[in-house]
Amino acid sequence: MMRPGARQYVVTRPLYSEDSFAEEHEKVYRQRKTMLDHLKLYFTCDVKRVKHAALSLLPVIGWLRIYRIKEWLLPDVVSGVSTGLVAVLQGMAYCLLASLPPWYGLFSAFFPVVIYFFMGTSRHISVGPFPVLCLMIGSVVTRLIPDEGPPVNITGLEGLSVDDQRVLVASSVTFLVGIMQLGMGLLQVGFVVMYLSDTLVSGFTTAAAIHILVSQLKFVLGLQVPGFSGPLSLIYTLEVIFNKITSTNVCDLVIALIIMAMVFIVKELNDKFKSKLPVPIPIEVIMTVIACGVSYGFDFENKFGIDVVGHIPQGYESPVAPNLQIFQETAMEAFPMAIVGFAVAFSVAKVYSVKHDYTIDGNQELIAFGVSNMFGATFKSFAASTALSRSAVQESTGGKTQVAGLISAIIVMIVTLAIGFLLAPLPKSVLGAVVIVNLKGMLMQFRDIPYLWRRDKPDCMVWLCTCTASILLGLDLGLAVGLGVELISVVLRVQFPRCSVLANITGTDIYKDRKDYFSIFEPEGVKIFRIPSPIFFANIDFFKNKLVEALGFNPLQILKKRNKALRRIKKLLKNGDLQWTSMGFLNTTCGSIGDSEDQDNMEELDQPIDFKDLPAQIDWNRDLPANIFVPKVEVHSLILDFAAVSFLDISALKGLKTMLKELIRIDIEVYIVACDPYILEKLHDCCFFDEEVQPSMFFLTLHDAMLNILDKHSEQTEKNPDHGKIITTVTVHNSLKIREKDVPEPEHKF
């Protein structure tokens, strides 16, 4: 209990090693489940589990039961209409990124949304085309069905037009992406998205924004540019654009610039006055309607030769089966699409779930997107995720649930079935301009570079490597490179941690890095070494080297020199060149030990020092007879702070035991403090302890070990005028809640 009016505490308790603490305080027995127990539980079926499974697979059942019609229906309708209008335009615009006819984007803005309404756990994201995913699909489409040259030899493409071939490729890839996402969801591996850090995703999406920007230049400039795929495709595209820049269609360029300027200005005003506007001004829709009317009225297609959307078929097409040969051709590219699509959607969903205080399930999201993509692919839509701007519209206009998403799908359906023909005169440069303006958020991520460089240089390198590789090598290879660099950075941080030597903060039981503070106290002959990471096969040698550096000597070398000197002393005694007296050893020779002597049995020099056949033990810190020199060791106690060590593998156990034996054999007392109970249990299970390495070296806290050392070496510490700087009493008076011995602690599962 805190003393009244004073921010200090006082504790009086015994000094604890791990053994003494275990003897005095009985642990609660907890029966841990085996793998067989978990399997039995997983395959157990009862009414409760069936109900839970139904609610998990169809989250719509859960939130529809609590749907507040009077409070939520109107905001959902307003949000759904606003989002639907944006989805129509973005669906057609993003479809150009996939190298498909624009109206197929309407399919992607409808079918996946309907399935997600029933199976998704997020209430606010707007499902549909995502520009990065569309671009990745476009690279596959142009690789298999290039603009120039024959398509890849795939059974099932015979007799189809180029557009139909590309649609079949896109839908087949989407179906494969859906299978992968569904499989990962059923296998409960939604955690894979954790390996895509915010830094990696930021660098990747920035590179994707540059790819998207370059891909839309041909529509803005009105140029005929063939599609490229693979490494350096961006460079090849820019080369063709610059070669044809003199053929720019001025009408397309002017329309695009006007659209971009107007959309950008109004979007900025929407952001500035979003608290005062009931709903954001749908400027993209307004400008699209105006552009359609002007294009139709002045016949831009025939007078100025601009490229327009053209005829949009009414209604939906018959479902098609995916092409299995395309699966084989695109499996390597489909997997990063599945990961990226889910990662982006899950990240956005997580932001809104935190903001509106509800939970989302990563594995169920994988299942929802998997089924959505598989269902949509059968109706010729392409892979869906979520667009940040569209989700922002759905949330900012008051959307409460996925009812808003369903209504947006209905708006898209109305356009597809009834009024799609009105969009026929829409210039493609308008769609390209809309896509470019919506890249602002992703392109502004370049501002992250100075921040990351100041705060965390390894993270900055991950960002730069991911972005550069994605720009030059393509998005699929770039993502793989970025992930590799990220994992390497994590491994390097763990493999080469910042080890430190600690010292006592004067007058406290607190120990900090001795380089960081002035008021510190280091007892003579005591070293405190802190390891701030797990110890495993990759960093055990680094850990040993750092410990040797902190000690100032190599224990193994000291041990070998002592054993070598001991052999020499025994040999001199045997030959009569050295005699033992009451005053110590008496030299009868001036010879010195030579390095060339005693070369037999050199491998035994690392064994424990054996004083057998000697009249007395040798004090290695004093001068030795016969001019024998062995480096003196001023350290008598070493404390290893294991507070940050979360695990040790078998290689680390072997290396640690070898190192401890070397230290013990040169008379250094080793103490390991704050060790995790599970590590200590593992040490017992692995037969870590023996006659030399004993459990008694483990202490509960660093201060316990320090007080034990001071008590054990009391004669030496009392000579030191600073020995009183280590406090020996800390007292806390507090009302503690005592658990009944017979009542087991419930085991929580996280």
For 662-692, the pLDDT digits (tens) are 999 999 999 999 999 999 999 999 999 999 9
> pLDDT (tens digit, 9 = 90+) per residue, 362-396?
889 999 999 999 999 999 998 899 887 788 888 88
Three-class SS state of 696: helix
**At residue 745, does pLDDT exceed 50?**
no
- Work out the average pLDDT over 70-92: 89
| pLDDT at res. 739 | 43
What is the structure's pLDDT at 117?
Answer: 93
Is it the case that residue 83 has pLDDT exceeding 60? yes
Cα 186 vs. chain centroid, distance in angstroms?
Answer: 22
Residue range 217-253, pLDDT digits in tens: 988 998 888 877 778 889 999 999 999 999 999 999 9
Q: What mean pLDDT is predicted for residues 720-735?
A: 53
pLDDT at 580: 72
Reported as a single tens digit per residue, the pLDDT across 50-62 is 777 777 888 888 8
Name the pLDDT band for 657 (thresholds 50, 70, 90): very high
pLDDT at 703 over 80: yes
Amino acid at 11: V
Let me know if 433 is exposed, middle or buried by CB neighbors in 10 A (0-12, 13-18, 19+).
buried
Q: Closest Cα partner for 653 from 612, 686, 613?
A: 686
Percent with pLDDT over 70 in the chain: 90
Q: What does the pLDDT read at residue 746? A: 42
Whether 584 has a pLDDT exceeding 70, the answer reads no
Are the C-beta atoms of 57 and 119 separated by less than 8 Å? Answer: yes
Q: What is the overall mean pLDDT for the chain?
A: 85
Instruction: Give 726's pLDDT tier (boundaries 50, 70, 90).
Output: low
Query: What's the pLDDT band for 744 if we cut at 50, 70, 90?
Result: very low
How far apart are the C-alpha atoms of 445 and 745, rounded to whole Å? 48
What is the reported pLDDT for 601? 56
Q: Which helix (H) or strand (E) holds 529?
A: strand 526-530
What pLDDT score was predicted for residue 723? Answer: 55
Q: Which CATH architecture has domain 500-553+633-725?
A: 2-Layer Sandwich (3.30)
Q: What is the pTM of this model?
A: 0.78
Question: Residue 14: left if φ>0, alpha if ψ -120 to 50, beta else—which one?
Answer: beta
pLDDT at 586: 66
What is the pLDDT averaged over residues 428-450? 89
Sign of CA dihedral 368, 374, 375, 380: positive
Between residues 159 and 531, which one has the greater pLDDT?
531
**Are 99 and 142 in contact, with CB atoms under 8 Å apart?**
yes
* Average pLDDT rounded to a whole number, residues 449-457: 92
Return the higher-pLDDT residue of 33 and 260: 260
Q: How confident is the model at residue 3 (pLDDT cuts 50, 70, 90)?
A: low
**What pLDDT is recorded for position 475?**
85
Tell me what pLDDT residue 412 has.
92
What residue ranges do the domains of the chain occupy? 69-473, 500-553+633-725
pLDDT at 179 over 90: yes
Q: 716: burial class by Cβ within 10 Å (0-12, 13-18, 19+)? A: middle
Would you place residue 608 in the very low, low, confident or very high pLDDT band (cuts 50, 70, 90)?
A: confident
Task: Give the distance, in angstroms, between the CA of residue 433 and the centroid of all CA atoms in the same chain.
Answer: 34
Task: Write the CB contacts of 379 (distance below 8 Å, at least 6 apart in sequence).
Answer: 107, 111, 316, 317, 319
Please give the share of the chain, as a percent, with pLDDT higher than 90.
39
Cα separation, 343 vs 197, in Å, equals 10
Residue 279 has pLDDT above 60, yes or no: yes
Q: Nearest-CA neighbor of 336 among 471, 176, 212?
A: 176
Q: What is the pLDDT of residue 377?
A: 94
Looking at residues 135-141, what average pLDDT do you find?
Answer: 91
> pLDDT at residue 76 above 60?
yes
To which H or E segment does residue 673 belong? strand 669-673
